[in-house]
Amino acid sequence: MKRISFLQGMLVGFVFIVALLGGVAINGWLLLENLVGESRENSALAVDLSAAIQTLNERSVDVERSARQYLVLGDNDLHRRFQGYLEESYEQLGRIETLAAPGLGEVPAQWRSVAGKISRKLARHNERAEEDVVVLLDRLGSLNNQVAQAGQRWIDSENTRLIHELERHRIQLGVKLAIALIGALSIALGMGWWLLRPVRQLDRAIRRLGARRFAEEINVGGPIDLRRLGQRLDWLRQHLAELESDRQKTLRHVSHELKTPLTALKEGAALLAEEVPGPLSPGQREVVEIMTHNVQGLQGRIESLLGLNAAIFDARQLSMQLVDAGQLLREVAERHELRAQARQIHLVQQIEPGEVRLDPGKMALILDNLLANAIDFSPPGADIVLAARRVSGAWYFDCIDAGCGVAPDDSERIFQPFVQGRLKAPVERRGSGVGLSIVRELVNAMGGRVDLLACAQGAHFRVEIPDAN
């Protein structure tokens, strides 16, 4: 099966939508043109019919006048005039029949019959004929009125028919338009699903790469060009997985190669400090203390590096589950309660009831690191606020202390490995500067983020976890 590209799919979808809506538009335009043409023709017929009826009435008046004059005067010119008016009346009546024959019925035939009788009666020209002609002329006037009424009824019926046809076409056009809109919407939704699904797959794949989860294969469907992009991302995943594996191997080898001679140095420095080889002078003892301090610092750095590497690896092994946010904060506070009491620090909990989907073990480690730092940096008698609340689409976990805070220049560097702030804690700390790096790795693994927020006094750390509910 040949697959089409993103651009080809968009073009096909637009062509179908334009074809549907354009077809309805053209059909509506043709219907409108047809109705306008019929309306124009009906108007012209109505004008012609009205003119013919008006002319017939005028000629009928002339016929009646000339007939009556002929009856009185007996002048042959008047009789010829009567015949001329009668011929013109026949002509107009024929025109009326041509324009509105279905609506006239038997009226034209009756009109001709009466007119013929009048003509024959005038040809005899006697007293009996005069009486009959007068009656027939009255009858002819009545028939003229019937012709006019029948013509008007025909005009009204044609107008009504045109209105009904307009209404019928309007309903048909509305149905076609609704069908076209539904079809266009269906095509748009289908195209949106066809295009959005691989985009979401790409987004999830990029997020997994950013979180260093390289085990799952990347498969992207949809258009052929997005499939190729998915294949390139999978190649990148494999390459990154190889680099990560090499990095871990190198780190393990370097740590092992460093720890072995470092252990020997530490033991040698300890023997010198205990004066096993012999007594030391004050200067020699000072040198031994410097050696011991630096060996211990280097050993701490190596252990921290191994711990950070273990935390990065552990961040990929998630066990997501629904956890009560309040219970999680209370357990963290209980673990640090004795340490806080020793420094006369009060832990304040602000908890909004609810459940959040996260890895409880990793979240506990995150809060332990933040709370431990807050206790170390807070002065005696201060309050530390631990808060959990739900906002639109996320859960916020806040740790706010009243200590010296973080220097502005350190706000971006504080989450980097082995970086410690310039401001010192009121108690002696032997940290290596990887705690907040571990916090960031674990938070990112759960799809969240950790930020240092501006605060008037102390430090305000916020962990944001997406609300899966």
The CA distance from 45 to 273, in Å, is: 127
Q: How confident is the model at residue 301 (pLDDT cuts 50, 70, 90)?
A: low
Mean pLDDT to the nearest integer, 55-64: 82
How deeply is 16 buried, as exposed, middle or buried, from its count of CB atoms within 10 A (0-12, 13-18, 19+)? middle
What are the tens digits of pLDDT across the range 408-449? 777 777 777 666 666 666 666 555 567 778 888 888 888 888
How deeply is 391 buried, as exposed, middle or buried, from its count of CB atoms within 10 A (0-12, 13-18, 19+)? exposed
Q: Which of 428, 418, 419, 440 is nearest to 300 (CA)?
A: 418
The CA distance from 190 to 187, in Å, is: 5
User: Domain extents for the chain?
Assistant: 6-186, 224-315, 321-466
Rg (CA), the chain: 52
pLDDT of residue 1: 45
224 in Cβ contact with 5 (< 8 Å):
yes
Q: How far apart are the first and last CA of the chain?
A: 40
Fold held by 321-466: Heat Shock Protein 90 (3.30.565)
Q: How confident is the model at residue 459 (pLDDT cuts 50, 70, 90)?
A: confident
Comparing 82 with 124, the larger pLDDT belongs to: 82
Q: Is the pLDDT of residue 29 over 70?
A: yes
Average pLDDT score, the chain: 79
Mean pLDDT to the nearest integer, 235-249: 79
Instruction: Please state whether the predicted TM-score (pTM) of the whole model is above 0.85.
Output: no
CATH 1.10.645.10, domain 6-186, yes or no: no
CA atoms within 13 A on the CB side of 201: 22
Comparing 423 with 284, the larger pLDDT belongs to: 284
pLDDT of residue 290: 76
Pairing of strands 394-400, 383-391: antiparallel
What percent of the chain is modeled with pLDDT above 90?
3
